[in-house]
Amino acid sequence: MKPSTLAILSAKAQVNRYLLTVIHSKPTDYTKTNALKFLPIYLVGTFFLFWGSAWSQTNELRQRLQRVAATTQGMLGVGIVDLSNGDTVSVNGQGRFAMQSVYKFHLALAVLSEVDKGKWALEQKIKVTKKDLLPNTWSPLREKYPNGEVELPLREILEYTVAQSDNNGCDILFRLVGGTKVVDKYIKSIGINEVNIVGTEEEMHADDRVQFDNWSTPRSAAKLLAVFHQKKVLSKNSWDFLWNTLVGTTTGPRKLKGVLPQGTIVAHKTGYSGVNKQGVITATNDIGIVQLPNGKRFAIAVFLNNTTLPEAECDRAIAEAAKVAWDYFLGK
């Protein structure tokens, strides 16, 4: 709740009176009793001043994000978590946005949780057949192994799926883990409920409507990043592997990282639908953890759905949202 201007001014006046009392009191008059008498007023006043200042800063962040959203000709949703204290800010944070390949991060978490249980190992070989490598879909994995019939370490398939957003790698992992329902159940089991994972990449390519069934809210995506960052749901080995893979993401270099200082560490996962026959980009997204020069980090999820802007302008809007957050946290 926003403190009223009158309450803030009143608190400030009380603090000033307290300080003047201390300054003008004679040493013989200013006793411990006097200090204790005014201490509650001082503490309450300080609280209101701090609360008012913090609210003003947060509100300014939200307003700047709203101005970015207004330029997108679509629906922009942003969820942000301060990873030093858990504070959150969002714009359209409860909206349901089509995730596209963002959900490959969710999938990787589910797969690595099974690795930690001993079901598989990162170096374990997985058979990839010709049938697994569907044509007419984004797949650097298929480009490298066009004929399939190879055994690849699980590590490599995960890297293709997350860092290069490989669609065939994604569906190989879905089949390995037991399907989309297994991943959906796992994500909900770690406290992320505003999400729905029901369709594979193959199913989304077969029917455009399926992409809208794979949805997340911006605030839940940011929360999932925060849960991951806490290093409680994965072993150290699995966490380090996924962190490095996210940092090494090659897709969407103009999204979250677009206007941040060169060399900024961003562990992120993108999603992109392409342009449909009506000239609409149904989903272009990026979620990630951004590291500031002082070593502190914040999680940010930016989803942009149903826009007629060119891809470059969409990327710019996502980049601007990240820069707004960067400036805010750098100035705290």
**Cα 135 to Cα 89, 141, 143, distances in angstroms:** 41, 11, 10
Distance, CA of 161 to CA of 101 (rounded, Å): 9
The catalytic position among 156, 159, 194, 201 is 201
**Torsion, Cα of 187, 191, 195, 199 (10° steps):** 20
The catalytic position among 101, 165, 220, 273 is 101
Distance, CA of 68 to CA of 135 (rounded, Å): 37
Residue 311 annotated among the catalytic residues of the structure? no
Residue 201 annotated among the catalytic residues of the structure? yes
Residue length, the chain? 332
Pair 238, 303: CB distance under 8 Å? no
Residue with tokens 């900024």: 264
**Cα 222 to Cα 98, 217, 255, 290, 302, distances in angstroms:** 15, 9, 16, 12, 9
Residues classed as catalytic: 101, 201
